[in-house]
Amino acid sequence: MLDERLKKDHGKAFEAFESFMVGRYKEKGSLMDILSKAQELFGCIPEGIVVYISRVLVIPESQIYGVITFYPQFIAKEEA
């Protein structure tokens, strides 16, 4: 469900992100890397992507937002 919606909304950018996330299930210490990639691909870090990251890494969304909002380099934005 989530995958399909994200694919529809972001097209090629999501496909690139999906392949970047392959093999990262429960991977520790990679959040910074992943958020930088997402920021680069989408120009912001959309809500759906946060949910996606949270499911792959198995960490709470709140923790991800905690990191996103700390850095001015990351932009959290509602999906249009």
Which H or E run contains 71? none
Q: What is the DSSP letter of 43?
A: S
Tell me if 56 sits within 8 A of 21, measured CB to CB: yes
Out of 33, 43, 61, 77, which residue is the one contacting other proteins (CB under 8 A)?
33
**23 contributes a contact to other proteins by CB under 8 A:** no
- How many angstroms separate the CA atoms of 17 and 61, rounded? 18
Out of 36, 44, 55, 75, which residue is the one contacting other proteins (CB under 8 A)?
36
**43 contributes a contact to other proteins by CB under 8 A:** no
Q: Which is nearer to other proteins, 11 or 66 (CB)?
A: 66
**57 contributes a contact to other proteins by CB under 8 A:** yes
